[in-house]
């Protein structure tokens, strides 16, 4: 990206960092962040579930949580 737009690596890195920060903030507040032509970040809820610890075979409860999924445009 830096070579294509004739930017320094530092400037390109800062741009990507700030884009990620905006994506995080928008996904938290609006449940979706769209990058036109690339895709979207969407909040999704995962249900609580039971799984087994592969090392001990013990059943463990995994709590419900919210995750972010990327959907390609």
Residue 26 tokens, joined = 């928008």
Architecture of domain 9-72: Irregular (4.10)
Annotated domain spans of the chain: 9-72
pTM of the model: 0.67
Phi, psi of 36 (to 5 degrees): -55, 135
What pLDDT is stored for residue 65 in this prediction? 95
Q: How far is CA 16 from CA 11, 24, 42, 73, in A?
A: 9, 12, 19, 19
Q: Which pLDDT tens digit goes with each residue over 16-70?
A: 999 999 999 999 999 999 999 999 999 999 999 999 989 998 999 999 999 999 9
What pLDDT is stored for residue 21 in this prediction? 94
């Amino acid at each position: 990206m830096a070579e294509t737009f004739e930017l320094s690596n530092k400037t390109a890195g800062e741009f990507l960092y700030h884009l990620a920060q905006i994506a995080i903030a928008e996904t938290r507040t609006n449940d979706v962040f769209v990058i036109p032509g690339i895709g979207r970040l969407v909040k999704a809820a995962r249900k609580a579930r039971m799984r087994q610890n592969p090392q001990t075979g013990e059943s463990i409860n995994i709590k419900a949580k919210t995750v972010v999924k990327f959907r390609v445009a």
